[in-house]
Amino acid sequence: MDSGQGGEVVVVGGGIIGLTTAMVLAERGVRVRVWTRDPVERTTSAVAGALWWPYRIEPVALARTWALRSLDVYEELAARPERTGVRMVEGVLGEADPAGAQAWTAGRVRGLRASTAREYTGTGVWARLPLIDMPVHLRWLRERFLAAGGSVEQRTVSGLAEADAPVVVNCTGLGARELVPDTSVRPVRGQLVVVENPGMRTWLVSTDAAGEMAYFFPQPGRLLLGGTAQEGVWSTVPDPSVAEAIVRRCAALRPEIAGARILEHRVGLRPVRDSVRLEREPLPDGRVLVHNYGHGGAGVTVAWGCAEEAADLAASSG
């Protein structure tokens, strides 16, 4: 697509994938409109943790390429954390293999090493990774996109054909299940408990012998506790018993968490697919549809790499 010939793109979806893709396109000089069902601050992305690391995403080889490109960007953005919401923070990936982690990151993560017994009781990896304050980051993305000449429209669509542009980019996440339709997209429910931070400066991700997840991420003014991965569960209503279990598991790792005052509860539905769909689809009417969805729990991790590839696919539409 040649933006100089009056081309325009509609990006459907206003979460981390949609906004990043729209921003990349807009900064390449393309006229872009984002259609989002929910305000940016109420999308699934706003609920995320959000630590840069692969989680529930396939194919692994491509995800690695997308993630390492995104890491480059996040490291730059971390120079302005109060504006971008991105900080480089140290922590432990429990039950992770240092050699495997080094191989996956191609040596790009500085200081990655085996965790010590003082840092974590089991086998783990100590790393300094991007940790993103999603409400701040989404707001920054939107402002940067608007500054590049883009526009955001809040609207609900019943089909992608409603998008009135030569190129449409489908970043609808779980919505793709109905809009494409693609029944291979399914929800994996995640619940978080947000508490006052009792002094935690590092993050931790752990899985116990029963396969139950526990993690905590320090964000400005609060600590995010998780988590769950409930396949096929659509409810976005916080479950009190699940919340209690999350606090209990996190407190078992750091006792000071037990008495922390609860600020809020969050629920998000990860848009999981057997593999990310990132491809160009010519439409019968001569327009082009670019799909960019199915990132599971790793949307933040791969957002920039996927956005650049989706923008390339949009530009190749002739």
Please state the residue numbers annotated as binding site for D-dopa: 215, 270, 297
User: 114 to each of 32, 39, 88, 91, how far by Cα in Å?
Assistant: 45, 41, 18, 11
Nearest to 51 by CA among 214, 200, 196, 205: 205
Binding site feature residues:
44-45, 172, 215, 270, 296-301
Measured between alpha carbons, how far is 138 from 43 in angstroms, rounded to an integer?
10
* Sequence ranges of the binding site for FAD: 44-45, 172, 296-301
CA distance 246 to 52: 21
Indicate the Cα dihedral angle 195, 246, 251, 114, nearest 10°. Answer: -100
Cα radius of gyration (the chain): 19
Is the four-CA dihedral 266, 269, 271, 273 of positive or negative sign? positive
3-state class (DSSP) for residue 197: coil
Helix (H), strand (E) at residue 77: helix 60-77
Question: Interior CA angle at 215 toward 211 and 217, to 5°?
Answer: 165
The pair of structure tokens assigned to 22 is 């729209």
Please give the Cα distance from 216 to 81 (Å, whole number). Answer: 19
- Give, in order, the Cα–Cα distances in Å from 31 to each of 3, 9, 13: 7, 6, 16
Per DSSP, the three-state class of 283 is coil
Pairing label, strands 8-12, 167-170: parallel
Give the C-alpha separation, 102 to 246, whole Å.
29
